Structure 1
């Protein structure tokens, strides 16, 4: 699918989310990447082969704790 240089990561690469966006529908909460991955705003993904990647964002914002 990817036609530009350097080539985007493939859909089965660990860094697949780094591919370029080819269609963006913020009102529906998803983007289509050039490697065929549909990326949802909740960080879930739908891969071209139909596999689902569950959302993987942190449940709570990161906090820095200090020892007392």
Structure 2
């Protein structure tokens, strides 16, 4: 998937959202990363194997 040098993080690494964006659709609220992950503006993700990762925004000061 990723052809960058140095390579982007793997899809199963903790810093996977640091991978390069190859498709950006801000009006629709999502972007595609070079490692096959779709990331959404609510911080949810769809991994290359089809598994979904629930949104994981940190709590805001108002909610705390």
**1:33, 1:5 → 2: CA distance?**
15
Q: How many pairs were matched up?
A: 62
1:13 CA drift (Å):
1.0
- Secondary structure of the corresponding residue to residue 39 of structure 1: strand
Q: Which has the larger radius of gyration?
A: 1
1:4 CA drift (Å):
1.1
Query: Structure 2: where are the runs of 5+ without partners?
Result: none
- Secondary structure of the corresponding residue to residue 17 of structure 2: helix
Question: What does residue 21 of structure 2 align with?
Answer: 21
**1:14, 1:58 → 2: CA distance?**
15
2:3 is the counterpart of 1:3: yes
Query: Structure 1: where are the runs of 5+ without partners?
Result: 63-68
Normalising by structure 2, report the TM-score. Answer: 0.90
Question: What does residue 55 of structure 1 align with?
Answer: 55
**1:56, 1:16 → 2: CA distance?**
14
**2:52, 2:61 → 1: CA distance?**
24
**1:18, 1:61 → 2: CA distance?**
25
